[in-house]
Structure 1
Amino acid sequence: MAQDVGQHRHTKVLTIDTMNANVKKVEYAVRGPILQRAEQLERELREGVKKPFDEVIKANIGDAHAMGQQPITFFRQVLALCAYPDLLDSNKFPEDAKNRARLLLKACGGSSIGSYTSSQGIECVRRDVASYIKRRDGGIASDPDNIYLTTGASDGIMTILKLLTAGEGRTRTGMMIPIPQYPLYSAAIAELDAIQINYYLNEEKCWSLDINELQQSLEAARKHCNPRVLCIINPGNPTGQVQSRQCVEDVIRFAARERLFLMADEVYQDNVYAEGCAFHSFKKVLFEMGPEFSSTVELASFHSTSKCYMGECGLRGGYMEVINMDPEVKAQLTKLISVRLCPPVPGQALMALVTNPPQPGEPSHTQFVKEQKATLNDLAQKAKLTEDILNTVPGIRCNPVQGAMYSFPQISLPQRAIKEAREKGQEPDMFYCMMLLETTGICLVPGSGFGQKEGTYHFRMTILPPAAKLKILLNKVKEFHQKFTEQYS
């Protein structure tokens, strides 16, 4: 017996074979092998290793401040005051920032943002969010009790997917996601051991959503699982499209007819650039379609402080609004989030400021509007610049970047390059992006990390770098693509 114990003593309890098998299925391309190699190259450059480039330009992830986007002054002032209330005596802060900080601190236990809050989030912040939704949606009421503050939008999305996952074998929950998709969805589905149902966006029509495609993918999936949820990302990530109002209506009708729970990822709602495009929230359209839909369709919609003109990714602020959720399920949702105690309080405070910014007549209003407009105008110009330069390259085709923060151009790859990539056990666009990184220092994400139609290849890049650096990046991509094509043709 003692010998047996001795033999097993040095065997680890947790090994790659004994760990949760679902975790091994999780992939997250935007922080995958490409980024790991980019960070290695950065270290080598710092150590003086000679490379064909002087710096690594990361355009792999929508991290606005890391790319040089400036924070909104009012937001940071209030957060500073909340974090260090002694500053409330300083004359360096405008009075409206001080008043807002006092209100937020009063709502925190012990007047400190270091205290826990209610699991659903600070009540006055949820009221601010509900008022914001009502203004955004032209007067359609929002109930603060349906608002849950979250750790970024990702946390809310994971929580709702968790509630929806059930069944075994053919009754297992199927989740419909757009392809190309943001890999949070495929990662969450893998982790929960649910079934991923792909529906393809139409690249030829600027990544539009086709109801016939939804219908076909749903019917095919019903043969092997139980489709229960339809996820929409609007404006699109990685594809940058903005869905029309008609499309939103069609999706709601489809969800009602097929009895699907709707999830609307609307974190880029302020990022709309193209002429003739406008953001239509699923909540607004749902209620404008009348009680037949507004009293039956179950909807969870998500927003975040990480994108738009705020770009405050690291503060992890977000919210979700749930509509028509069964009261018993809602009680279970509240229980589930209470296990995590509460979302980060600085993120909650920031969400209060995003949804209730300085008003006309307040000292900070003029500067706030100026900074907000400057950031959004800058992004609109960079969206156009990206599309224009990429479309001058033979073998690259880029749809208009109507919204969000990314372009997802299609690249033509020579057969020899595809063959060489396959021989190395790599996806051809991964092979392309890795070679681009090694020769130019530019870090993009291969389209295979987001999903794409068989036989097509893409990359995703953010439009966030400063315009001067973005031009350099785009011209380097142009030059690389031409050389790559020559080398392998």
Structure 2
Amino acid sequence: MIPSKGHCVLRGTNEKLQCKKCLTPETVNPNYRGLEYSLSGPVLQKAIEIEKEILEGHKKKFKNVILLNIGDAQSLGQPPLTFPRQVLSLVAYPDLLRDKTFPEDVKLRARDILENCPGGSAGSYSYLCGMDIIRKKIATYIEKRDNVASNWENIIIGQGVADMAKLFMSLLKSNKYGLAAGILNPVPECPFYSSIIAELGLKRIDYFIDEDNQWNININELQRAIDEAKSRCNPRAIIVINPGNPTCHILTKSNMEEIVKFAFKENLIIIADEVYQNDVLKDDCDFISFKRILNDMGKPYSDIELVSLMSVSKGVFAESGIKSGYAEFVNLDPEIPPMFVNLASASYNPSALAQSTLYSLVNPPKPNEPSYELFKHEKNVIIGGLKMSASIAEESIHSLEGMSCNPLEGGTFFYPRLMLPQVAIERADRMKLSPDEFYAMELLQETGICVAPGSAFKQKPGTYHIRMTLPSDPEMAHEIMERFKEFHFQFMKSFS
């Protein structure tokens, strides 16, 4: 018998058994070759290295590293809201239901969840798609937000937006006339979308959002992108992030209507990432969901297929480590949601503990309940702090030579543009870094401030940016921006 490759073989009487590797870079799934998450690049790796050096007692020009690169609000000191943490505690340890220090509205929600857990325990497997009681509350939350009916059976609970987007986009993977499915992807982008598209073997169709028009989406640009892509793929969906990440913009109603008309003309599903919907930073801006836009436009646009995504990870709740969110399917063929359910059942069941936090988001304390005043106060402090931090960031950026920034309307980031001296660009090239990556690396090593370079989000050729997280503490924002302004002044002077 001739041994096949990958099996242990005897090379000679005096030789040891040898075993060839079955999985190598040449035999790995080709969709994973070169796949990377751009936010974990050299700037973050350097920040981790510096943090270790500080812990080991090495002296730096700063006392600590401030991680503004990934939008983890609680790592920047934003306190968790009391109400969802109390509900989470009781669900995890039901004996606390006898503790009189917990308010009755907290106990009520904890009992709701535990009664819907098999065996009354959060440690049991959860039901597919999430607990019905929570899905029904999500539908009520959506109806209150949009004044549009919502069917709870079209709502799926999962482990956050990335996982649900991946599961849904896997349903779009099909070949038509020998062409793979294509997804329109905004640039600047949220990096996990391009990672998902690559992992699934789909084709990414980049479209540039318009920085010169407060990051609105230009329909001519959408048309350019899709027309150029049709020879290499079959466009099937468009991703729209509103409020924007990394751009912190909010789309206008008229711009959203243009996008809907474009999706109708090109027969595209709209994948609406609406994670930052509760983080409006300007009094003259309002978040409007794509579901409401579809409804208000009437036929035939109200029949467009839509997937809306929401999470507890960002903004006021900022429970990034708990990982829970939902997807609402609108106008899909009735046979599609069951396919999604079957796909999800082969992947995971959402954690009951994570679902309890989502339950608190969509079923918060009411004005007549004991937790209401504290919950309202904590939310107002956080959103008020974000608004003040946004103003501090805007004023600081506008005061600096070689930087500009659009108004920060919604979300928890700001994304200023860098106009770097040619000498700095040439230095970056010699170091094999993108210019904004070089700027971010210098900022980190001089100040301890870790930001994400715009190249991690892709950007219009010839432009450079950085993304920074807005802390909800205005004093921290002021301290960061003072340190940042001093660095930027010295950087521009050194490379002029």
TM-score, L = length of structure 1:
0.96
Q: Kindly state the Cα deviation for residue 168 of structure 1 after the two structures are TM-superposed.
A: 7.4
Q: Which residue of 1 aligns with 2:33?
A: 24
Counterpart of 2:92, as a letter, is: A
Q: Kindly state the Cα deviation for residue 40 of structure 1 after the two structures are TM-superposed.
A: 1.2
Equivalent residues in 2 for 1:36-435, closer than 5 Å: 36-138=45-147, 140-167=148-175, 171-295=179-303, 297-435=304-442
**Deviations for 1:423-466, whole angstroms, at most 9, x for unmatched residues?**
22221111111111112111001000101111110000001263
Question: Aligned equivalents of 1:458 and 1:197: distance in 2?
Answer: 21
- Asked if the contact 1:63–1:311 (Cα under 8 Å) also holds between the matched residues in 2, the reply is yes
Question: Aligned equivalents of 1:362 and 1:107: distance in 2?
Answer: 22
Secondary structure of 1:455 counterpart: coil
Question: Aligned equivalents of 1:379 and 1:8: distance in 2?
Answer: 63
Q: Which residue of 1 aligns with 2:6?
A: none
Q: Kindly state the Cα deviation for residue 170 of structure 1 after the two structures are TM-superposed.
A: 5.7
Instruction: Structure 2: state its 5+ residue gaps.
Output: 4-8
Question: Aligned equivalents of 2:265 and 2:243: distance in 1?
Answer: 24
Say if 1:332 and 1:250 are closer, same or farther in 2 by CA, change over 3 A. same
Secondary structure of 2:428 counterpart: helix
**Deviations for 1:1-32, whole angstroms, at most 9, x for unmatched residues?**
74349688254333333322322332323233
Secondary structure of 1:300 counterpart: strand
More divergent stretch after superposition (109-118 vs 321-330): 321-330
Question: Aligned equivalents of 1:170 and 1:239: distance in 2?
Answer: 36
Secondary structure of 2:205 counterpart: strand
Question: Aligned equivalents of 1:443 and 1:103: distance in 2?
Answer: 42
Counterpart of 2:54, as a letter, is: L
Question: Aligned equivalents of 1:479 and 1:161: distance in 2?
Answer: 45
**Identity score, percent:** 41
Q: Which runs of 4+ in 1 moved over 6 A?
A: 5-8
Question: Aligned equivalents of 1:388 and 1:27: distance in 2?
Answer: 35
Q: Kindly state the Cα deviation for residue 57 of structure 1 after the two structures are TM-superposed.
A: 0.8
Secondary structure of 2:335 counterpart: helix
Counterpart of 2:261, as a letter, is: R
Question: Aligned equivalents of 1:288 and 1:458: distance in 2?
Answer: 36
Instruction: Structure 1: state its 5+ residue gaps.
Output: none
Question: Aligned equivalents of 1:10 and 1:475: distance in 2?
Answer: 59
- What is the number of equivalent residue pairs in this alignment? 487
- Asked if the contact 2:383–2:472 (Cα under 8 Å) also holds between the matched residues in 1, the reply is no
Question: Aligned equivalents of 1:42 and 1:8: distance in 2?
Answer: 45
Question: Aligned equivalents of 1:237 and 1:8: distance in 2?
Answer: 54
Secondary structure of 2:325 counterpart: strand
More divergent stretch after superposition (218-227 vs 453-462): 218-227
TM-score, L = length of structure 2:
0.95
- Asked if the contact 2:389–2:478 (Cα under 8 Å) also holds between the matched residues in 1, the reply is no
Secondary structure of 2:71 counterpart: coil
Question: Aligned equivalents of 1:156 and 1:291: distance in 2?
Answer: 28
Say if 1:23 and 1:46 are closer, same or farther in 2 by CA, change over 3 A. same
Say if 1:169 and 1:293 are closer, same or farther in 2 by CA, change over 3 A. closer
Counterpart of 2:49, as a letter, is: Q
- Asked if the contact 1:447–1:458 (Cα under 8 Å) also holds between the matched residues in 2, the reply is yes
- Asked if the contact 2:272–2:307 (Cα under 8 Å) also holds between the matched residues in 1, the reply is yes
**Deviations for 1:294-346, whole angstroms, at most 9, x for unmatched residues?**
23x11000000011210111111100000111222222111100012311211
Q: Kindly state the Cα deviation for residue 193 of structure 1 after the two structures are TM-superposed.
A: 1.8
Question: Aligned equivalents of 2:369 and 2:123: distance in 1?
Answer: 28
RMSD between aligned residues: 1.6
Question: Aligned equivalents of 1:21 and 1:168: distance in 2?
Answer: 21
- Asked if the contact 1:45–1:55 (Cα under 8 Å) also holds between the matched residues in 2, the reply is yes
Secondary structure of 2:83 counterpart: helix
Secondary structure of 1:426 counterpart: coil
- Asked if the contact 2:385–2:472 (Cα under 8 Å) also holds between the matched residues in 1, the reply is no
Question: Aligned equivalents of 1:73 and 1:464: distance in 2?
Answer: 19
Q: Kindly state the Cα deviation for residue 275 of structure 1 after the two structures are TM-superposed.
A: 3.1
Q: Kindly state the Cα deviation for residue 174 of structure 1 after the two structures are TM-superposed.
A: 1.1
